[in-house]
């Protein structure tokens, strides 16, 4: 019996995981990307396997508070105002979910994808050399005091609903637990059963190397179109030629929007511009990854140094970095880590794929044989292996116990 040939478009964490699970199931697999594996959004995230990331940005009250956030130079939300006219249609739909009911529904969907992230990464890499990149850890949310923590009660209720209840550490015990923190950190909300990746870019590259060891193939090329002339996918057209296939998976992050357009589906997805700074040879490192709640950034000790990642900016796909987001990130790092010094810094800008309802697109487009696996917003690294496993199960005919309806790609189709 000849196995099916699956072409996967996009060699980030989602595409690499999908390819490996399919190859393990006996499928012939070709992974295609116009760039090197793992060098898109997968490269620049906060490194954290944040299983508790079940709270969407569009929480209750955002609609009323949003303008004030944008006007506040100390709040980590930025907009390139020249881009606003293009952003408005997406923004209106995005903000329509900023209510309690939608937030709870979205949170339940996110829990499906990220709730067991550490176990999914371990399952993906178990028994291979790639496992060395996956580390178990706690994950701490840092607050000024108990009042600041209690002001975040709605978010913590959503996390509790997903099974994540924190240990609270207060007063001087905070600095005993995490000496890198300055005196303005008065409470830690500590979660167990989390993890982080020592170097996300190298990790994804190693996963693609594992795919090749398993008999899969990586092709560096740009995808130009899909041949679905008979109602089902028969080939992917690339800059290095036509690749015949039985099924295809689109997992190209923010670039998936244009590819879906070629298949007749308009996806309301925007690029959320995300920044990080890596502090080389830092004088201090956190003992575990942490989210600095007041600064809305995460800090993780990784093999390149201390990576501080966060800040939200809307402004399209321009590669030009804005000065203000990076300046604010440096300011917040100094506030929370006042004694930190480093021998150098690396700045990075990347593009998170943000659908209007904060849920990824996972599933088949009708009966076309084309599957979507993108739109993970802030949870791409965290949810990549689970997404890959779910898509591989769909393709191989395995039945999931999960309700996949919230992720249906056709939910955005008109009519």
pLDDT at 2: 59
Looking at per-residue pLDDT, the higher value among 151 and 77 belongs to 151
pLDDT at 147: 97
Q: Is pLDDT at 415 greater than 60 in this prediction?
A: no
Angstrom distance (rounded) from CA 389 to CA 268: 25
Instruction: Please name each of the domains of the chain with its CATH number.
Output: 5-44+201-268+358-412 (3.50.50.60), 54-100+136-193+269-355 (3.30.9.10)
Q: Is pLDDT at 1 greater than 50 in this prediction?
A: no
In tens, the pLDDT along 162-221 reads 999 999 999 999 999 999 999 999 999 999 999 999 999 999 999 999 999 999 999 999
Q: What percent of the chain is modeled with pLDDT above 90?
A: 90
Of 195, 197, 214, whose CA–CA distance to 53 is shortest?
A: 195
pLDDT at 345: 97
In tens, the pLDDT along 244-280 reads 999 999 999 999 999 999 999 999 999 999 999 999 9
pLDDT at 414: 66
Q: Is pLDDT at 66 greater than 90 in this prediction?
A: no
Angle between helices 380-396 and 117-125 (to 10 degrees): 60
Region of poorest pLDDT, from 32-46, 65-79, 107-121, 143-157: 65-79
Q: What percent of the chain is modeled with pLDDT above 70?
A: 99
Write the CB contacts of 400 (distance below 8 Å, at least 6 apart in sequence).
390, 393, 394
Give the DSSP H/E element, type plus range, for residue 346.
strand 344-355
Q: Print burial letters for 368-393: b (CB count within 10 Å at least 16), e (below 16).
A: bbbbbbbbbbbbbbbbbbbbbbbbbb
Region of poorest pLDDT, from 113-127, 214-228, 308-322, 378-392: 308-322
Q: Is pLDDT at 86 greater than 70 in this prediction?
A: yes
Average pLDDT, the chain: 95
Residue 206's Cβ-count burial label (10 Å; 0-12, 13-18, 19+) is buried
């Amino acid at each position: 019996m000849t196995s099916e040939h699956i072409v996967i478009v996009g060699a980030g964490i989602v595409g690499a995981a999908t390819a490996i699970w399919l190859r393990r199931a006996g499928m012939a697999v070709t992974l295609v990307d116009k760039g090197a594996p793992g060098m898109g959004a997968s490269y620049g995230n906060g490194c954290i396997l944040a299983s508790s990331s079940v709270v969407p940005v569009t929480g209750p009250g955002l609609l009323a508070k949003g303008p004030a956030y944008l006007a506040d130079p100390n709040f980590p939300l930025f907009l390139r105002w020249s881009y606003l006219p293009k952003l408005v249609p997406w923004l209106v739909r995005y903000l329509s979910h900023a209510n309690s009911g939608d937030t709870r529904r979205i949170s339940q969907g996110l829990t499906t994808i990220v709730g067991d992230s550490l176990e999914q990464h371990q399952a993906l890499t178990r028994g291979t050399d790639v496992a060395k990149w996956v580390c178990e850890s706690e994950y701490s949310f840092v607050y000024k005091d108990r009042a600041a923590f209690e002001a975040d009660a709605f978010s913590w209720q959503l996390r509790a609903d997903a099974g994540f209840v924190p240990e609270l550490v207060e007063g001087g015990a905070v600095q005993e637990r995490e000496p890198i923190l300055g005196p303005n950190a008065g409470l830690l909300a500590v979660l167990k059963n989390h993890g982080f990746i020592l170097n996300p870019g190298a990790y994804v590259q190693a996963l693609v190397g594992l795919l090749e060891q398993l008999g899969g193939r990586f092709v560096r090329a740009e995808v130009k179109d899909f041949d679905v002339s008979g109602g089902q996918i028969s080939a992917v057209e690339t800059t290095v030629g036509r690749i015949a296939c039985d099924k295809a998976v689109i997992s190209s992050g923010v670039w998936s929007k244009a590819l879906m357009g070629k298949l007749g589906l308009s996806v309301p997805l925007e690029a959320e511009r995300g920044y990080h700074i890596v502090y080389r040879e830092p004088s201090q490192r956190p003992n575990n990854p942490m989210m600095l709640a007041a600064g809305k950034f995460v800090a993780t000790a990784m093999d390149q140094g201390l990576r501080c990642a966060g800040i939200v900016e809307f402004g399209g796909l321009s590669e030009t970095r804005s000065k203000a987001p990076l300046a604010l990130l440096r300011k917040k790092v100094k506030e929370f880590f006042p004694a930190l010094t480093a021998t150098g810094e690396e700045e990075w800008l990347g593009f998170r794929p943000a659908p209007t309802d904060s849920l990824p697109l996972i599933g088949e487009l009708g009966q076309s044989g084309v599957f979507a696996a993108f739109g993970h917003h802030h949870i791409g690294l965290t949810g990549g292996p689970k997404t890959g496993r779910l898509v591989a199960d769909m393709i191989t005919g395995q039945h999931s116990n999960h309700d996949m309806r919230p992720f249906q790609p056709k939910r955005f189709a008109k009519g």
